[in-house]
Amino acid sequence: MGRYLSVIHDIVVVIVVVLWWWSKMRMFQRCSRCIMDTRVPGIVFDKDGVCNYCRLHDSLEAQYPISQPHLHRLVKDMKEAGKGCEYDAVIGVSGGCDSSFMLSLFSSLGVRLLAVHMDNGWNTRAASENMRVMTEKTGVPLKTVKVDQTVFDSLCRSMLYASTPDADIPNDLALLEVMSQAAVDCGCHYVLNGHSFRTEGSAPLGWTYMDGGYLEDVNRHYEEAVLDGFPHFSWEKQMEFWDYGVHTVRPLYHLDYRKGRVINELCCVYGWQWYEGLHAENIYTKFVGRYLWPRKFGIDYRLVEFSALVRSRQLDRKQALIRLREDVCFEPGYLQMVKSRLLLSDDEFETIMRMPVRSYSDFKSYLPLFRHPDHRKMFDRLLAEEKISLTFYDKYVKGV
């Protein structure tokens, strides 16, 4: 009798496992056009199995077609706005591919640039050398703005203890404010941003949410660092920059920007060094993308990057799926560096890694303000004046 019960038990276990596997497979879906799948927050599919991120890409393609005339108009507008000023535009540089390419392109077109680097103390050697080489060989002056590392590290620790995926936003928000403030300080109205939706895609809101109010609330919950004077792009600062007339433009939206070709050109012409990976020129950003996201949150951001390249026909879909199966590498020495600089013991770090996952919606933010009906006309105007991007408008204002 016991033998029969054991057999029945084994059969039941097999049935349960098969049903679980079948339900998981039934729930899983991958876009028929790119490689985004149901692991991505907010994803929906149409009747053809195409995801909403592909439809967003198509909207951006229509809004920002590849256009040399647009590039020439932008150059003309920057030069007109820069008359009587020392510079026509500020360009943020990190030693990365996108900013290095724009530095080369716009300096060759006669735009008087001020290169600005926001230094949070986490640069790789390759990034620092790339910035030096690019600014020296293009003749563009470089201004380095060092942020208070004690405050910056405190904000990074707070974001880790908040247990949300948005761990790198102290860097992103500081960068936004530093670039805009540099434009105001030198009297120009243009800031060049190196984002390209054709090579980077658009970050899902559930994986990356950022605004100054959110960072302030996380800081209040944990370490309460003094933020007076620290660049974190508060609402007041945003309004100040809009009122001044700062235009943050994304020239790569109108260019046939092919990253592989650009990397080869930068290496050959300038002696630039490739650092192998999206935003991997910064150690902390690399830690978030290659260690924290996959190991704590199950986030593989290559889904976004590779999908963008597939949509723009820079990467074959089958090849993208093959590359997605490759391991995400992160140097062990960098992990120890992160723990040491953030003053986290091994036990404290493991506690952070085991904490339940939370969301930006668990904290106060500017999102209700962005989406308030009374502000829609203001954001419509800012979009028309190209002071905000369509991706910001769709995600933060419209909520699509």
pLDDT confidence tier of residue 392, bands split at 50, 70 and 90: confident
| 3-state SS assignment for residue 143 | strand
- pLDDT for res 278: 54
CB-based contact 234:213 (threshold 8 Å): yes
pLDDT at 25 over 60: no
Give yes or no for residue 6 having a pLDDT over 70: no
Domain boundaries, the chain: 52-365, 369-400
pLDDT band at 262 (very low <50, low <70, confident <90, very high): very high
**Rounded mean pLDDT of 33-50?**
95
Report the alpha-carbon distance of residue 261 to residue 366 in Å, rounded: 39
pLDDT at 364 over 70: yes
Residue 319, CA atoms < 13 Å, CB-side half-sphere: 7
Average pLDDT, the chain: 90
Q: What is the pLDDT of residue 152?
A: 97
In this predicted structure, which of 16-25, 152-161, 201-210 has the lowest mean pLDDT?
A: 16-25
User: Do 283 and 337 contact (CB within 8 A), yes or no?
Assistant: yes
Give the pLDDT score at 52: 94
pLDDT, tens digit (0-9, with 9 covering 90-100), for 310-353: 999 999 999 999 999 998 888 888 899 999 999 999 999 999 99
Helix (H) or strand (E) holding 119: strand 113-119
Q: In degrees rounded to 5, what are phi and psi of residue 13? A: -60, -45
Give the span between the Cα atoms of 265 and 271, in whole angstroms: 9
For 396, the token pair is 């933060």
110-153 residue pLDDT tens: 999 999 999 999 988 888 999 999 999 999 999 999 999 999 99
Asked if 320 and 310 count as a contact pair (C-beta separation under 8 A), the reply is yes
Does the structure show a pLDDT above 70 at 16? no
Higher pLDDT, 320 or 5: 320
d(CA 227, CA 152): 10
**Rounded (5°) CA angle 307-382-117:** 65
Kindly report which listed range (201-210, 259-268, 326-335, 369-378) carries the lowest average pLDDT score: 326-335
Residues in contact with 245: Cβ distance below 8 Å, sequence separation at least 6, in sequence order? 189, 387
* DSSP structural state of residue 123: B
Query: Between β-strands 190-192 and 142-146, what pairing exists: parallel, antiparallel or unpaired?
Result: unpaired
CA distance 238 to 198: 27
Give residue 12's pLDDT band: very low, low, confident or very high (50, 70, 90). Answer: very low
What pLDDT was estimated at residue 81?
Answer: 94
Residue from 227, 209, 226 nearest 164 by CA: 209
Going 242 to 247 to 171 to 166, the CA torsion angle's sign is positive
- Give yes or no for a contact between 215 and 173, defined as CB atoms under 8 angstroms apart: yes
Assign domain 52-365 one CATH number from 3.90.1140.10, 3.50.50.100, 3.20.20.190, 3.40.50.620.
3.40.50.620
Task: Give the other-Cβ count within 10 Å of 347's Cβ.
Answer: 8
* C-alpha to C-alpha distance for 105 and 136, rounded to whole angstroms: 15
Which residues make beta-bridge pairs with 89? 113
Q: Tell me how far CA of residue 367 lies from CA of 156, 233, 360, 390, 392, in angstroms.
A: 21, 14, 10, 16, 11
pLDDT for 332:
81
For every residue of 164-209, DSSP letters joined together read: -S-TTHHHHHHHHHHHHHHHHHHT--EEE----HHHH----TTT--
Residue 393 has pLDDT above 70, yes or no: yes
Rounded Cα–Cα distance for residues 298 and 316 (Å): 24
How confident is the model at residue 18, as a pLDDT? 40
pLDDT class of 280 with cuts at 50, 70, 90: low
Amino acid residing at 251: P
Stated pTM of the model: 0.87
Distance CA 236, CA 213 (A): 10
- pLDDT class of 24 with cuts at 50, 70, 90: very low
Contacts of 33 (CB under 8 A, 6+ apart): 49, 50, 51, 54, 310, 311, 317
